[in-house]
Structure formats: structure tokens, C-alpha cells
Amino acid sequence: METVIKVGGSLGQSPKLGDLMLRLAELGCRHKILIIPGGGAFADTVRDYERRFGLDKDAGHWMAILAMDQYGHLISSLIPGSELVQGLAEARKVSAAGRVPVLLTYSLLRQTDRLPHGWDVTSDSISAWAAGLSGAQKLVLLKNVDGLFDYESSAPDTAVLMEKIGLNQLIRCRGVDRYFAAILRQVRLDVWVVNGEHPERLTQLLDTGCTKGTYLLRSDL
């Protein structure tokens, strides 16, 4: 597997979602990619029930993972030539056959259960963890913003896009979960955060190795 691509849940509300899904289908013909879904509105429902009923962390954790799987069914239905998979070996076979694997992570996580339970671990960390297991070279987080922004040294409305950052700078950003840096310290990945509402940027990144977005420097890994 060359690249793991997480499709952020926020993109589920974007009018560009369909265009992005078609772009993923096209890229899957030329690159070995693995798609991992975010949680989006499905995970927000879990958060709501957790608040209303005081669910424990274990229940909330597994419900949130299942929410990712629900989003996975949605995006797979929009990607021509895609196939839902529940493991990495299956994903490799699907990719080798020229199709686009969309990983439903619940089964894989149930087998290992090595990540902390709670909202510090979201689809960002899960994608990084799965990318490390898969042997991928690159992880791309597709979100509905241009990358990661420096909110610590700037007012929210004047925050500057951080084109390159190290792991020690992630604390200044709000775009990834709190456990993300810990996962990245355990794996060797090129990591990009890119705006999924501009599918051409993803194409540029996979074809040339660079695009508009935020690149996490490997020197800090």
C-alpha cells in the first residue's frame, strides 16, 4: 500500500463530496491507496448519546468506531470500483486488483484494541495507526480546511496556515486529535493535511509529492 487517505467526516456535509469520491476512484487506478472513513455526523450522534446517558468510555469508543464504519458504507457507495474491507490483507488484494479498498476499522480494532478509549483518539489517530500497520509510505488527512493553522500565536480569525510543522508544534493546532502525535512517534510516515474540497490538490500530491496543505516533518518522527 502506498498511501492511506482518511476522508474526514466534515466532508460528508460538503457539496464537493461527490467530486472527491470520483477523484478517489480515478486515483485508485494509478496509485495503491487505502481509504479510511472519519466519523462525521455519525460520530456526533454518539457524542450526543454519551452526554445524554453518561455512557462509559468503552461504550462510547466502540460506538464511535461503528460510526466510522457507517460513514465508510456511505463513501464506498459513492466511489465507483470501491470495495469495503475489514482487514489489511483483504485491502491489499483489492488494491492489487485495481479497485479502491475502503477499510471498516471496527473488526480490526476489536482484534487488537491497543488504542486508548475516549475522544482523544479519533479517526485521525486510527488512520495513522492503520497506516503504520499497512506499511504505507504516506498518510493524507482530507479535511474541510486547507491544513493546520497556528491558533496559539494568532487570533482565530487571523490564524496562519502552517505549511510545514514538527510534532512538537501540533499542540498549537486544533485540526487533529490529541493522541495523533503519539501515534506518529511510533511509525514512519509522510503525513499531509489537505483540503478535500479541492480534489485536484490530492491528485497533485499523489502525482508530484507536494501540494497546498500542511506537511508534518519526518525529522520529528
pLDDT tens per residue, range 79-131? 999 999 999 999 999 999 999 999 999 999 999 999 999 999 999 999 999 99
Eight-state DSSP code of residue 21: H
What is the DSSP secondary-structure string of 39-82? -HHHHHHHHHHHHHHT--HHHHHHHHHHHHHHHHHHHHHHSTTE
Lowest-confidence pick of 21-25, 139-143, 182-186, 216-220: 216-220
d(CA 35, CA 22): 13
Q: Looking up cell 496559539, which residue turns up?
A: 152
Q: Ramachandran region of residue 113, left (φ > 0), alpha (ψ -120 to 50) or beta?
A: left
> According to the model, what pLDDT value does residue 58 have?
97
User: What is the total count of domains within the chain?
Assistant: 1
Q: Which of 29, 16, 10 is nearest to 198 (CA)?
A: 16
> According to the model, what pLDDT value does residue 186 have?
92
Does 172 have pLDDT greater than 90? no
C-alpha grid cell, residue 113? 484494541
What is the DSSP secondary-structure string of 181-217? HHHHTTS--EEEEEETT-HHHHHHHHHHS--SSEEE-
DSSP H or E segment with residue 5: strand 3-7
d(CA 183, CA 187): 7
Classify the C-alpha dihedral 135-138-139-142 as positive or negative. negative
Q: CB burial class (10 A; 0-12, 13-18, 19+) of residue 95?
A: buried
Containing domain of residue 19, as a range?
Answer: 3-220
Q: Given the DSSP bridges, would you call strands 190-195 and 214-216 parallel, antiparallel or unpaired? A: antiparallel
Does 219 have pLDDT greater than 60? no
Q: What is the rounded radius of gyration, in angstroms, for the C-alpha atoms of the chain?
A: 16
Lowest-confidence pick of 26-30, 90-94, 154-158: 154-158
Does 155 have pLDDT greater than 70? no
Instruction: Assign residue 124 the CATH number of its domain.
Output: 3.40.1160.10
